[in-house]
């Protein structure tokens, strides 16, 4: 999957970089790349953009269709970090970063920060590291925080979307502390090693759902609704599953 990501990236990254350069031609501010604050600002801007891109990739099925590949491993190790999408750039995931060249961040610097972010995220895909010192755990994304993100347990679903800084999850209500060790993978795991099935299975399922949709509203739901959405309630979203879980607990207490 990692090799496929590199191969598809030879084409898709040209599209992404060209789009960023095009937007940069109309930038609003002229930022001084030699100033120290420029690099601080672009670091936070990139990490903030990544958080919303990553969070949206879990909440909108269209983007989840590309991102699901990264969550399809039932193991959690450095190899999991290399299980990457073949369609993420082509399907438009880069739009979350287009505000950056518009305000004046240079396209080369944006690509540099994205690369550094990916390098940082590589090492946190491990079970070999438990907890780091408390200040680090509070500010940064760590193996413990990211293990939660890869968990398929209900309380861990759609949590800890951080790239480098976990502060965004703390600020926007998506943080979850690691309690017991997560079960990794998807709520319904793939039973295949076929690369093309892994890379495109969710896109295929979207097309199937669209073909059976009773109307245009349902079509929009199957494409842009949250993963698990269905027009007839035959499948459940994370939000629906959590509501049902709360109702079950309330019923048990009564």
pLDDT digits 0-9 by tens, 14-41: 999 999 999 999 999 999 999 999 999 9
CA distance 141 to 135: 11
82 plus 137 within the same structural domain = yes
The stretch 225-241 carries a mean pLDDT of 94
Q: State the pLDDT at residue 145.
A: 98
The stretch 45-72 carries a mean pLDDT of 98
Range of the domain at 212: 195-253
Assigned domain for 216 exists: yes
Q: State the pLDDT at residue 52.
A: 98
Q: For the whole model, what pTM was predicted?
A: 0.94
CA distance 82 to 228: 25
Q: Is residue 254 over pLDDT 70?
A: no
The stretch 190-195 carries a mean pLDDT of 93
pLDDT in tens, 121-141: 999 999 999 999 999 999 999
Rounding to the nearest 10 degrees, give the CA dihedral for residues 9, 12, 18, 21. Answer: -60
Assigned domain for 182 exists: no
The stretch 202-217 carries a mean pLDDT of 97
137 plus 210 within the same structural domain = no
Assigned domain for 189 exists: no
Q: Is residue 248 over pLDDT 80?
A: no
81 plus 202 within the same structural domain = no
Q: State the pLDDT at residue 189.
A: 95
64 plus 161 within the same structural domain = yes
Q: State the pLDDT at residue 48.
A: 98
Assigned domain for 188 exists: no
Q: Is residue 207 over pLDDT 50?
A: yes
200 plus 127 within the same structural domain = no
Q: Is residue 251 over pLDDT 50?
A: no
26 plus 135 within the same structural domain = yes
123 plus 218 within the same structural domain = no
Q: Is residue 250 over pLDDT 80?
A: no
The stretch 167-187 carries a mean pLDDT of 97
Assigned domain for 94 exists: yes
Q: Which of 106, 137, 172 is at the close of a domain?
A: 172
216 plus 97 within the same structural domain = no
Q: Considering only CA atoms, which of 32, 87, 80, 48 is closest in space to residue 64?
A: 87
C-beta contacts of 26-33 below 8 A and 24+ residues apart: 26/102, 27/101, 27/102, 27/103, 27/104, 28/102, 28/103, 28/104, 29/103, 29/104, 30/104, 31/103, 31/104, 31/105, 31/106, 33/106, 33/109
User: In the chain, how many domains are there?
Assistant: 2
149 plus 217 within the same structural domain = no
Q: Which of 134, 157, 172 is at the close of a domain?
A: 172
Assigned domain for 190 exists: no
97 plus 20 within the same structural domain = yes
Per-residue confidence band for 249, with pLDDT thresholds at 50, 70 and 90: low
146 plus 104 within the same structural domain = yes
212 plus 90 within the same structural domain = no
Q: State the pLDDT at residue 247.
A: 62
Assigned domain for 201 exists: yes
Q: Is residue 193 over pLDDT 50?
A: yes
Assigned domain for 28 exists: yes
Mean of per-residue pLDDT scores for the chain? 95
The stretch 6-13 carries a mean pLDDT of 93
């Amino acid at each position: 999957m990692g090799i496929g990501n590199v191969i598809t990236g030879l084409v898709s990254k040209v599209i992404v970089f060209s789009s960023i350069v095009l937007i940069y031609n109309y930038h609003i501010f002229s930022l001084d790349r030699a100033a120290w604050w420029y690099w601080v600002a672009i670091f936070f801007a990139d990490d903030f953009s990544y958080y919303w891109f990553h969070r949206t990739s879990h909440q909108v099925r269209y983007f989840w269709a590309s991102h699901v590949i990264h969550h399809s491993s039932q193991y959690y190790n450095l190899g999991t970090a290399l299980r990457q999408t073949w369609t993420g750039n082509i399907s438009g995931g880069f739009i979350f970063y287009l505000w950056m060249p518009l305000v004046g961040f240079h396209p080369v610097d944006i690509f540099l920060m994205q690369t550094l972010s990916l390098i940082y995220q590589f090492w946190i895909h491990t079970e070999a590291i438990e907890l780091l010192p408390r200040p680090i755990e509070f500010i940064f994304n760590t193996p413990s925080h990211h293990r939660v993100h890869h968990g398929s347990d209900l309380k861990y679903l759609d949590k800890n979307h951080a790239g480098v800084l976990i502060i965004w999850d703390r600020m926007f209500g998506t943080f979850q502390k690691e309690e017991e060790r997560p079960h990794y993978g998807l709520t319904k795991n793939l039973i295949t090693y076929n690369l093309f099935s892994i890379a495109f299975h969710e896109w295929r399922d979207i097309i199937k759902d669209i073909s059976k949709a009773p109307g245009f509203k349902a079509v929009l739901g199957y494409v842009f609704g949250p993963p698990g959405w269905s027009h007839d309630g035959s499948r459940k979203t994370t939000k629906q599953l959590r509501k049902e879980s709360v109702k079950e607990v309330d019923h048990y207490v009564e």
